[in-house]
Each structure stands twice: as C-alpha cells, then as structure tokens.
C-alpha cells in the first residue's frame, strides 16, 4: 500500500461494493431472499425487466441485510480511518440504493456524506456525473475496484484501486497516480477450496457394493464406480458451493467457517453463482457414461440436498436424518452404477451408523457454542439444553448399528457368501469400540465437527479400518 499524494482539501469518495465491502450487497441480499423465500427465484427475471434500479429497490424491500455481518476490507478501512483522523472529508458513493448505503455508513461511522441510488442507478458514468457536479472536475479522489469505476476515475484527481483486476490496473496506470490495495491469495487455490475436495472421500461409499460383492477383479465394474465417484463428487461440490452462498451469515459467525472463500469474500459471489450450474453440467456429462438409473439416483440426491439446504437444515432431527439418508443414497448409487446386489442389511446398517455420526456433528457444534457462552447454534433448531437428548439418540443409534452388524453376521446370507464367516465376528467388538470412542471424544469436546473427516485423519480409526478389512479377507 502506497500513501496518497497531498490532499489539499480534496474530498475522498469511496465505492462500497467490492471496495469498502469485499462482497456485493445486492447479491448478498438476493441470496438471503432466495433462502428465506425460495419461490421468489422465479420472480427475479420479471422484476429485473423493469430496470436495474427497480430490481435493487424491490430486493431491498423484501429483505434487509445486517451491515455488521458484511465482510469489510479491513486494510482499506484502517487507511480510511487514518485519512479521517487527518481531517479529510469522506464520502460514500455507491450504486446501491440509498437506504442500504445509509445503514452501512452508520455502521462504519466515518463518512461525512452518503451518495446512493435514488431516482437513477449511480453506476459508471452516472456516478461520475454526480461526483463532478458536486465536487468539480478533478475535485475528488476516488476509491474503486471494477471496470465500471474507470468512468469515474477519468474525472478524479487520483485513483485508489482496491483488489482491481489486472486489466483495470493497466488502463489506470498510464493516466493516474495510482494507490493499490491488493490481495495476493491465489484464486485457483480459493476455487479448489470452494469445491471442498476433502469431502469427496465420503463418496468412497459408492465403491462399497462392489467390494462386498467380492468382485475385486471386475475391471469394468470398477471403471463404472470411478465414473460414478467423479459424477457424485462434482454434484456434491455444486451443493457445497450453493450451501456456502446461502449460509453466508451463519458461516461468518462460525469460528472456522468464517474463513471459507465466499464467507470471507475472497471469492466473489458471482463466481459462486456460476460454479453451481457448471459443476452440475460436468457431473451430468460423467453420468452419461453410466446406466440411466444412476442419473435418477443422482437427481434424487440433488433434490434431497436442496431440501436440506432450504428447509431440513433448520429442522431439529430432520436435518441429521436427511444427512444419514444422503450417505445411504451413495451406496445405492454404487449399486446402480455397477449393477451389483445391495442387501437390506447394508442399507439398515448405514442408516443407523450415519444417523449417529450426524448427531455427533450436531453435538460437537453445540459443545463449541457452550464454550463460547452461546445458547444455540445459529441457523439451526438446536439449543444447548438439547445436548443430552442428542447424545442419547446418537449412542442408541450407534449401538443399533452394531446390533445390525451382529445379526447380519449370523444370517444365512453370510453363510452363503463367505467360506469362513466365523472370522467376521471380530468386527462386532471392533465397531463397538470405534463408535463408543467417537462419542467419548465428542463428549470431551475433542471431536472434529465432521466425524467422517475426523476418521480419515485419525490414526486409531485407520487401525480400526485395517482390522475390519483384514477380517473380511480372512472370512472369504
């Protein structure tokens, strides 16, 4: 960051969206509206036909964002406070509607004047004309970030660029004294983080039906499963991005989720809105190489995740039941993709086990909230006093999954499918130990919020998985 040239009484005008605020208040408001009133999504194109300013005003009437929840550009904000301390006059000049700009200005508390859209959309040349009319040609310095701000910078004495694209900086460099605030974080790295590739490990459940059918050397079935894995992973990433866009407020209040690319505004919301359909299209392309039934399972999975995002997520117990179902759907996807049988025992075991693990996740969230002296999880239906009941439900479900495994080992189906079924019995105490340990760690506050990812990083869990795999091999 470079200091400005002497001010000489020159007013400092500051753009809001993308500059003072790292995000876009219109997109933030629109996403909040879609979350609370999903049916308005179909109304938005018709409202937009009446003009961009009308669109902004209509959105603002439907939902109002809390300025305290927005991601501000802290280095710029600190610099602006320094300018204010030197006695400089600061003006917030934005294309956002006046009421939104006023709320943000009151929250920040450093601006002497606020100029927002009222009868015209103050963007690009319209904003430039307004500022020239008020402060004169070259009578102001301007803080901006986008291509549209070039029209304003042409009439400003000095350009202050905030995280502006390289093409904008090149056009500015030849004609203006330039001050640059920039973020050197790799966009490719942020894009990769937004996909949450570590979550793709959950889609390994797609391979389970082939493994349990003992078709270890059927290459064509493995290839189908790998196609299915890729398709499911891209679909899941589309869901993760959508969830991140809809959960901005909740994520920003969370100790770790606040660092996610969209919550922190390191990636723009417009990129996220483009990623959701593009990832779905890529998933559909991979699914085209698989039986038609797989596409049906994929569509059912996506439909369930949409219900989860818009409704189930805030409903007590329905949310964890939905998560358990989504894990079980992955087993069904593997069965359809590879055309291998899938037993009732496996589906029942999966439902009870993953219901328990989903409850561990909620229990851990409440445990953290209790440490932070909060009474409930934001955006969820759970309260601190629910922790005892969640543990009862979770432990009971975990023990039931162990019982289902024991009954399966004693079934006629196992005696037909395995030459030495007696070797399967060690799986019962090993699984009993693992699920009990998960809940003990959760009760101590030592459990990662996602127990599946915790298991993938936990050495003891890897040892348990190795023992389970060995018993299966010995039983063959």
Q: What is the DSSP letter of 39?
A: G
Specify if 315 maps to a domain.
Answer: no
Instruction: Report the pLDDT value the prediction gives residue 257, as an integer from 0 to 100.
Output: 86
What whole-number percentage of the chain has pLDDT above 70?
Answer: 96
Choose the weakest-confidence range: 137-141, 253-257, 399-403, 425-429.
253-257
Lowest mean pLDDT segment, chosen from 24-38, 263-277, 436-450: 436-450
**Whole-number pLDDT of residue 392:** 95
Tell me what pLDDT residue 250 has. Answer: 84
Give the separation between CA 349 and CA 123, rounded to whole angstroms.
Answer: 58
pLDDT of 225 above 70: yes
Say which residue, 375 or 15, is predicted with more confidence. 15
Q: What is the DSSP track for 68-114? A: GGS-B-HHHHHHHHHHHHTT--EEEEEEEEHHHHHHHHHHH---SEE
Residue 6's pLDDT band, with cuts at 50, 70 and 90, is low
- Which of 279, 297, 330 is the last residue before a domain boundary? 330
313 occurs within a structural domain = no
What average pLDDT does this structure show over 333-344? Answer: 86
Indicate the range of 86-95, 154-163, 216-225, 392-401 predicted with least confidence: 216-225
Does the pLDDT of residue 448 top 90, yes or no? no
Which pLDDT value is given to residue 285?
94
Does one domain contain both 76 and 166? Answer: yes
Tell me what the pLDDT averaged over the chain comes to.
90
Q: Assess whether 118 and 266 both reside in one domain.
A: no
- Same-domain pairing of 162 and 258: no
Share of the chain above pLDDT 90, in %: 66
Residue 392's Cα: distance from chain center in Å? 30
- Whether 100 is in a domain gets the answer yes
CA of residue 301 relative to chain centroid, distance: 18
Cβ 28 vs Cβ 70: under 8 Å: yes
Quick: pLDDT tens for 322-333: 999 999 999 999
Angle at 366 between CA 365 and CA 367, to 5 degrees: 90
Distances (CA, A) of 246 to 25, 88, 216, 264, 316: 14, 38, 41, 14, 19
Residue 174 has pLDDT above 90, yes or no: no
Assess contact for 345 and 408: CB atoms under 8 A: yes
Whether the CB-CB separation of 17 and 163 falls below 8 Å is answered with: no
296-307 per-position pLDDT tens digit: 999 999 999 988
The whole-number pLDDT of residue 175 equals 67
Q: What is the pLDDT of residues 380-430, one digit of tens each?
A: 778 888 999 999 999 999 999 999 999 999 888 888 878 888 999 999 999
Would you list the DSSP string of 282-305?
HHHHHHTTS-HHHHHHHHHHHHHH
**What would the mean pLDDT of 225-237 be, rounded to a whole number?**
94
Residues 427 and 447 both lie in one domain: yes
pLDDT at 354: 94
In whole angstroms, give the CA distance from residue 320 to residue 326: 10
Residues 6+ apart with CB under 8 A from 396: none
Of 166, 181, 196, at which residue does a domain stop? Answer: 181
Residue 172 near residue 180, CB atoms below 8 Å: no
- Looking at residue 164, its pLDDT comes to 86
Residues forming a β-bridge with 158: 141
pLDDT level of residue 63 (50, 70, 90 thresholds): very high
Q: What is the pLDDT averaged over residues 119-132?
A: 94
297 and 353 co-located in one domain: no
Place 475 in a pLDDT band, splitting at 50, 70 and 90.
Answer: confident
Tell whether 30 and 176 lie within a shared domain. Answer: yes
Q: Alpha-carbon distance 467 to 428, whole Å?
A: 11
pLDDT band, very low/low/confident/very high, at 377 (cuts 50, 70, 90): low
Provide the CATH number for the domain around residue 35: 3.40.50.1000
Answer with the one of 181, 211, 241 that is the final residue of a domain.
Answer: 181
Contacts 24+ apart (CB under 8 A), 169-177: 177/5
19/164 same-domain check: yes
Closest-CA residue to 71 (of 192, 162, 167, 140) = 162
Which pLDDT score, from 0 to 100, does residue 186 have?
79
pLDDT band at 2 (very low <50, low <70, confident <90, very high): very low
- With tokens 């105490």, the residue in question is 429
| pLDDT-derived band at 221, boundaries 50, 70, 90 | confident
**Cα–Cα distance measured from residue 117 to residue 99, given in angstroms and rounded to the nearest whole number:** 9
What is residue 23's predicted lDDT score, i.e. its pLDDT? 94
Q: For every residue of 212-269, which 3-state class applies, written as one string?
A: HCCCCCCHHHHHHHHHHHHHHHHHHHHHHHHHHHHCHHHHHCCCCHHHCCCCCCCCCH
Verify that 209 and 145 share a domain, yes or no.
Answer: no
386 and 430 share one domain: yes
pLDDT of 379 > 70? The answer is: no
Name, in order, each residue with C-beta under 8 angstroms of 164's C-beta and a sequence gap of 6 or more.
Answer: 144, 145, 146, 149, 172, 180, 182
**Whether 413 and 441 share a structural domain:** yes
Domain that holds residue 248: 186-305+322-330
Same domain, 111 and 244: no
Q: Cα dist. 351→81, 327, 462 in Å?
A: 55, 8, 22
pLDDT at 476: 82
Place of tokens 């994520």: 251
User: Token digits for 31?
Assistant: 């996403």
Do 375 and 409 fall within a single domain?
yes
Q: Taking the chain, what is the end-to-end CA distance rounded to the nearest angstrom?
A: 66
316 belongs to a structural domain: no
How many domains does the chain divide into?
Answer: 3
**Interhelix angle 187-195/219-246, nearest 10 degrees:** 110
Q: What is the pLDDT of residue 1?
A: 45
| Residue 448 within a domain | yes
Rounded to whole angstroms, the Cα distance separating 278 from 242 reads 12
Task: Give the pLDDT of residue 449.
Answer: 66
Q: State how far the alpha carbon of 53 is from the alpha carbons of 66, 214, 273, in Å.
A: 21, 63, 21
């Amino acid at each position: 960051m470079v200091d400005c040239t002497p001010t000489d009484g020159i007013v400092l005008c500051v753009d809001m969206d993308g500059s003072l605020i790292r995000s876009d208040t219109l997109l933030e408001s629109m996403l909040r509206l879609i979350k609370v009133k999903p049916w308005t999504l179909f109304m938005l194109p018709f409202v937009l036909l009446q003009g961009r300013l009308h669109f902004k005003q209509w959105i603002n009437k439907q939902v109002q964002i809390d300025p305290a929840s927005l991601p501000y550009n802290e280095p710029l904000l600190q610099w602006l406070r320094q300018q204010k301390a030197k006695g400089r006059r600061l003006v917030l000049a934005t294309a956002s509607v006046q009421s939104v700009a006023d709320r943000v200005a009151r929250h920040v508390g450093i601006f002497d004047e606020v100029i927002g859209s009222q009868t015209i959309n103050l963007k690009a040349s319209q904003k430039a004309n307004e500022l020239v009319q008020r402060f004169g040609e070259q009578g102001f310095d301007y803080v901006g970030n986008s291509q549209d701000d070039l029209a304003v910078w042409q009439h400003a004495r000095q350009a202050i660029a905030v995280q502006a694209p390289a093409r904008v900086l090149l056009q500015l460099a030849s004609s203006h004294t330039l001050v640059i605030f920039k973020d050197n974080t790799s966009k490719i790295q942020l894009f990769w983080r937004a996909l949450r590739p570590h979550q793709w490990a959950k889609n390994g459940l797609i391979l389970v039906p082939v493994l349990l059918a003992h078709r270890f050397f059927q290459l064509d079935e493995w290839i189908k499963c790998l196609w299915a894995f890729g398709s499911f992973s891209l679909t899941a990433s589309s869901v993760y991005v959508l969830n991140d866009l809809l959960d901005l407020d909740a994520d920003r209040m969370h100790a770790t989720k606040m660092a996610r690319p969209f919550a922190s505004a390191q990636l723009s919301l417009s990129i996220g809105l483009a990623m959701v359909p593009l990832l779905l299209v890529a998933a559909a392309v991979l699914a085209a190489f698989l039986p038609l039934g797989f596409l049906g399972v994929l569509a059912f999975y996506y439909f369930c995740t949409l219900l989860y995002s818009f409704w189930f997520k805030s409903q007590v117990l329905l949310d964890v039941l939905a998560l358990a179902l989504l894990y079980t759907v992955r087993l069904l996807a593997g069965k359809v993709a590879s055309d291998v049988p899938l037993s009732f025992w496996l589906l029942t075991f999966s439902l009870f086990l993953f219901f328990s693990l989903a409850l561990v996740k909620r229990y851990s969230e409440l445990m953290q909230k209790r440490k932070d002296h909060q009474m409930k999880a934001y955006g969820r239906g759970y309260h601190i006093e629910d922790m005892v009941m969640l543990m009862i439900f979770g432990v009971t479900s975990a023990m039931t999954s162990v019982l289902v495994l024991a009954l399966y080992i004693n079934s006629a189906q196992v005696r037909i499918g395995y030459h030495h079924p007696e070797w399967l019995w060690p799986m019962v105490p090993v699984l009993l130990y693992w699920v009990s340990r998960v809940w003990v760690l959760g009760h101590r506050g030592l459990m990662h919020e996602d127990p599946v990812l915790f298991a993938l990083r936990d050495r003891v869990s890897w040892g348990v998985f190795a023992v389970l795999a060995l018993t299966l091999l010995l039983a063959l």
